[in-house]
Structure 1
Amino acid sequence: MQTHISFIIKTCFFHLRRIASISRYLTHDACVKLVVSLIFSRLDYCNSLLAGLPASSIHGLQRVQNAAARLTLRKTKRDNITPLLRSLHWLPVNTRISYKLSTLVYRCINDSAPEYLQSSLDLYTQPSDRPLRSAADPLRLNIPRSKLASAGQRAFPSAGPSVWNSLPLELRQSPSLDAFKGRLKTQFFP
């Protein structure tokens, strides 16, 4: 995955330099649209595959997002990045990964995802010999055990349910995908 991440970082910084060269001719809204279309399309493409990677691997992608925020708001490297990301309503990269995984799991549970993804998730069933507190949670997913400690836990059948189970129950019971996305972004926003 490191070569893939390095290629994304290199490509994004190339486009950021090109946008920076014409930024004085752009309005704020045009700059934001350009950054979202050229940079975030690359950051978000297949980012659910990056779930479970160490923070050192994700750090380069976060640097790209930070540079994009500074470019769109015309700030320097010395400015604090957290208020900039908040003002643009951009989630940090590791949170964007969790957001995408949660959205995929929601779609799987509500039968709007591809069959191969739906078949990889199982609802948690309580052991019949003893009552557990998890019995009150109807949308809890089973996290399968994996043989490979690193790659197995990063696969969708393991990473998706672990992110899903960490969400509050009222969020998981959202009536529609749009309502779920809105509540999820509110939940994840720093």
Structure 2
Amino acid sequence: MNAHWNELARLALANDRVTLRRVGVADTAAFERIVYEPEIWRHFVQRIETPGDLHTFIETAIRDTLNGTRVVLAITDNASGEIVGSTAYGNLAPADRRLEIGWSWLCARARRTGVNRAVKLALLDHAFGALDCERVEFKTDVLNTAARAGLAGIGASEEGVLRSFNVMPGGRRRDVVYYSILRDEWPSVRKERFEETGAGTRAGGS
């Protein structure tokens, strides 16, 4: 297995637009300022509506990152120096060189600003570079038209719908739609969807 998979708990990534690093207890106050927007959680299975919910989110993020279940990262907008959301690597399958990018959210002021594309670029570069992935996958609620448009916009291929995938708050059974980018597709996807659109910021990480 690529040694970089063993170092994911210490992951930190950055490019010209954003910095990503693992979520910590010290981030509580920064998240409190942005996390209680109902629109963020419309399509999420779990919601953050109270300080207790936020505590659970941070506690779970730290635990999952340390035990290797997921790698949960805080998103800092380099322009302001402020945390504006969170994202994660999950469903880690190093033997198959596969992972999922998801659990992603941004506060209102960071949406439609290029932050999301910069985050995806940093994560995809690391996945296909340092981690030597063959496949990166994404999934979202079929009703989440904004997320679906965003995934199509970064060049992810729609693969299909898994019906009645899980239960949502309120009792609705959610259908999810899967997308992916494969290793041999990434060079052309990166050029066409990131570099040629001006989103190809310099990326680095450890």
Q: TM-score, normalised by structure 2?
A: 0.28
Comparing both structures, which one devotes a greater share of its residues to strand?
2
Comparing both structures, which one devotes a greater share of its residues to helix?
1
